[in-house]
Amino acid sequence: MLALLIMLQLVSTLGMVGVIWFVQVVHYPLFDKVGSSGFRDYEQDHQRRTTLVVAPLMLTEAVTAVALFWLRPEGIPTPTAVVGLGLIAILWASTFLWQVPAHGRLAKSFDSATHRNLVRSNWLRTVAWSARGVLVCWMCLPLLSVSTDAIAHLP
Protein backbone atom coordinates (compact mmCIF):
# COMPACT_ATOMS: atom_id res chain seq x y z
CA MET A 1 0.00 0.00 0.00
CA LEU A 2 2.73 2.47 0.95
CA ALA A 3 4.77 1.57 -2.11
CA LEU A 4 1.72 2.30 -4.30
CA LEU A 5 1.24 5.68 -2.59
CA ILE A 6 4.88 6.58 -3.15
CA MET A 7 4.74 5.49 -6.79
CA LEU A 8 1.54 7.51 -7.38
CA GLN A 9 3.26 10.46 -5.73
CA LEU A 10 6.28 10.00 -8.00
CA VAL A 11 4.26 9.69 -11.20
CA SER A 12 1.96 12.63 -10.45
CA THR A 13 4.76 14.92 -9.29
CA LEU A 14 7.12 14.13 -12.15
CA GLY A 15 4.20 14.47 -14.57
CA MET A 16 3.61 17.98 -13.24
CA VAL A 17 7.32 18.79 -13.38
CA GLY A 18 7.27 18.00 -17.10
CA VAL A 19 4.04 19.92 -17.68
CA ILE A 20 5.18 23.01 -15.78
CA TRP A 21 8.51 23.26 -17.59
CA PHE A 22 6.77 22.89 -20.96
CA VAL A 23 4.22 25.54 -19.99
CA GLN A 24 6.88 27.91 -18.62
CA VAL A 25 9.40 27.64 -21.45
CA VAL A 26 7.18 26.98 -24.49
CA HIS A 27 3.46 27.43 -23.97
CA TYR A 28 3.01 30.63 -21.93
CA PRO A 29 5.66 32.65 -23.81
CA LEU A 30 3.87 31.90 -27.10
CA PHE A 31 0.52 33.31 -25.94
CA ASP A 32 1.37 36.69 -27.46
CA LYS A 33 1.80 35.06 -30.90
CA VAL A 34 -1.83 33.89 -31.13
CA GLY A 35 -3.25 37.23 -32.24
CA SER A 36 -5.95 39.30 -30.61
CA SER A 37 -8.79 38.17 -32.88
CA GLY A 38 -8.58 34.51 -31.89
CA PHE A 39 -7.06 34.80 -28.45
CA ARG A 40 -10.27 34.64 -26.43
CA ASP A 41 -11.28 31.29 -27.94
CA TYR A 42 -7.70 30.04 -27.71
CA GLU A 43 -7.46 30.91 -24.01
CA GLN A 44 -10.81 29.31 -23.20
CA ASP A 45 -9.77 26.12 -25.01
CA HIS A 46 -6.40 26.26 -23.27
CA GLN A 47 -8.04 26.40 -19.85
CA ARG A 48 -10.43 23.54 -20.57
CA ARG A 49 -7.81 21.24 -22.11
CA THR A 50 -5.10 22.04 -19.58
CA THR A 51 -7.50 21.27 -16.72
CA LEU A 52 -8.09 17.80 -18.20
CA VAL A 53 -4.35 17.13 -17.99
CA VAL A 54 -3.33 18.84 -14.75
CA ALA A 55 -6.37 18.34 -12.48
CA PRO A 56 -5.92 14.56 -12.10
CA LEU A 57 -2.16 14.97 -11.58
CA MET A 58 -2.51 17.77 -9.03
CA LEU A 59 -5.27 15.98 -7.11
CA THR A 60 -3.34 12.70 -7.06
CA GLU A 61 -0.22 14.52 -5.93
CA ALA A 62 -2.04 16.31 -3.10
CA VAL A 63 -3.97 13.26 -1.88
CA THR A 64 -0.91 11.01 -1.89
CA ALA A 65 1.21 13.66 -0.15
CA VAL A 66 -1.35 13.93 2.67
CA ALA A 67 -1.64 10.13 2.89
CA LEU A 68 2.15 9.75 3.03
CA PHE A 69 2.31 12.36 5.78
CA TRP A 70 -0.15 10.37 7.92
CA LEU A 71 1.10 6.89 6.99
CA ARG A 72 4.74 7.91 6.74
CA PRO A 73 6.85 4.83 6.06
CA GLU A 74 10.30 4.30 7.50
CA GLY A 75 12.87 6.23 5.52
CA ILE A 76 10.65 9.29 5.04
CA PRO A 77 11.41 11.67 7.91
CA THR A 78 8.65 13.93 9.22
CA PRO A 79 10.40 17.12 8.01
CA THR A 80 10.55 15.70 4.48
CA ALA A 81 6.82 15.04 4.46
CA VAL A 82 6.15 18.51 5.90
CA VAL A 83 8.31 20.19 3.24
CA GLY A 84 6.45 18.21 0.58
CA LEU A 85 3.09 19.40 1.91
CA GLY A 86 4.41 22.96 2.19
CA LEU A 87 5.44 22.92 -1.46
CA ILE A 88 1.98 21.68 -2.42
CA ALA A 89 0.43 24.52 -0.41
CA ILE A 90 2.64 27.01 -2.29
CA LEU A 91 1.71 25.43 -5.63
CA TRP A 92 -2.02 25.43 -4.99
CA ALA A 93 -1.95 28.97 -3.56
CA SER A 94 0.00 30.26 -6.55
CA THR A 95 -2.30 28.45 -8.97
CA PHE A 96 -5.54 29.74 -7.48
CA LEU A 97 -4.38 33.19 -6.33
CA TRP A 98 -2.31 34.19 -9.39
CA GLN A 99 -2.50 31.91 -12.41
CA VAL A 100 -6.25 31.16 -12.45
CA PRO A 101 -7.23 34.85 -12.09
CA ALA A 102 -4.72 35.81 -14.81
CA HIS A 103 -6.20 33.22 -17.14
CA GLY A 104 -9.66 34.56 -16.30
CA ARG A 105 -8.59 38.04 -17.37
CA LEU A 106 -6.92 36.69 -20.51
CA ALA A 107 -10.08 34.72 -21.39
CA LYS A 108 -11.85 38.07 -21.83
CA SER A 109 -9.12 39.52 -24.06
CA PHE A 110 -5.37 39.42 -24.45
CA ASP A 111 -3.53 41.91 -22.27
CA SER A 112 0.27 42.23 -22.48
CA ALA A 113 0.72 43.18 -18.82
CA THR A 114 -1.37 40.23 -17.63
CA HIS A 115 0.53 37.93 -19.95
CA ARG A 116 3.91 39.15 -18.65
CA ASN A 117 2.75 38.74 -15.04
CA LEU A 118 1.49 35.23 -15.81
CA VAL A 119 4.85 34.17 -17.24
CA ARG A 120 6.79 35.86 -14.42
CA SER A 121 4.64 34.56 -11.56
CA ASN A 122 4.64 31.04 -12.99
CA TRP A 123 8.35 30.74 -12.18
CA LEU A 124 7.34 30.18 -8.55
CA ARG A 125 5.38 27.08 -9.58
CA THR A 126 8.17 25.94 -11.90
CA VAL A 127 10.73 26.10 -9.09
CA ALA A 128 8.36 24.60 -6.49
CA TRP A 129 7.40 21.65 -8.72
CA SER A 130 11.04 21.07 -9.59
CA ALA A 131 11.86 21.00 -5.87
CA ARG A 132 9.00 18.56 -5.29
CA GLY A 133 10.35 16.39 -8.09
CA VAL A 134 13.74 16.19 -6.39
CA LEU A 135 12.11 15.59 -2.99
CA VAL A 136 9.85 12.79 -4.24
CA CYS A 137 12.72 11.10 -6.10
CA TRP A 138 14.71 11.23 -2.86
CA MET A 139 11.74 9.67 -1.02
CA CYS A 140 11.77 6.80 -3.53
CA LEU A 141 15.40 5.89 -2.88
CA PRO A 142 14.56 3.50 0.01
CA LEU A 143 12.09 1.72 -2.28
CA LEU A 144 14.78 1.31 -4.91
CA SER A 145 17.24 -0.19 -2.42
CA VAL A 146 14.58 -2.65 -1.20
CA SER A 147 13.76 -3.57 -4.79
CA THR A 148 17.45 -3.95 -5.66
CA ASP A 149 18.03 -6.18 -2.63
CA ALA A 150 15.00 -8.30 -3.52
CA ILE A 151 16.16 -8.64 -7.13
CA ALA A 152 19.68 -9.57 -6.03
CA HIS A 153 18.28 -12.52 -4.05
CA LEU A 154 16.16 -13.93 -6.85
CA PRO A 155 17.18 -17.40 -8.02
Q: Which pLDDT score, from 0 to 100, does residue 140 have?
A: 86
Tell me the pLDDT tens digit for each residue of 103-144. 999 999 999 999 999 999 999 999 999 999 999 999 888 776
pTM: 0.89
Average pLDDT for residues 9-27, to the nearest whole number? 97
Q: Which pLDDT score, from 0 to 100, does residue 74 have?
A: 80
Q: Any idea what DSSP says for residue 74? A: T
Helix (H) or strand (E) holding 71: none
Q: What is the mean pLDDT of the chain?
A: 92
CB under 8 A, 24+ apart: contacts of 72-79: 73/2, 73/6, 73/142, 74/142, 75/139, 75/141, 75/142, 76/139, 76/142
